[in-house]
């Protein structure tokens, strides 16, 4: 699904879109009881994030 949504909460507008359009999702680098952390590379800048 490739959609963009604008949500308004408490007077602030948030634009949501699929993360795969902006980042290349990589391998798992950590996990806990509530989440899994994955490496993500920004497609335009090449910067790595988690």
How confident is the model at residue 45, as a pLDDT?
97
- Give the mean pLDDT of 20-30: 94
Identify the residue with better confidence: 6 or 12: 12
User: Domain boundaries in the chain?
Assistant: 20-50
Identify the residue with better confidence: 10 or 25: 25
Residue-wise burial string across 3-16, b where 16 or more C-beta atoms lie within 10 A, e elsewhere: eeeeeeeeeeeeee
Q: What is the pTM of this model?
A: 0.63
Query: What is the C-alpha separation between 28 and 5, in angstroms, rounded?
Result: 27
Structure tokens given for 7: 């949500």
- When pLDDT is cut at 50, 70 and 90, the band that residue 13 belongs to is confident
- Give the mean pLDDT of 19-47: 95
């Amino acid at each position: 699904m490739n959609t963009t949504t604008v949500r308004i909460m408490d007077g602030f507008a948030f634009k949501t879109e699929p993360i795969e359009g902006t980042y290349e999702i990589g391998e798992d680098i950590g996990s806990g009881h509530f989440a899994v952390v994955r490496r993500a590379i920004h497609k335009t800048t090449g910067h790595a994030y988690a």
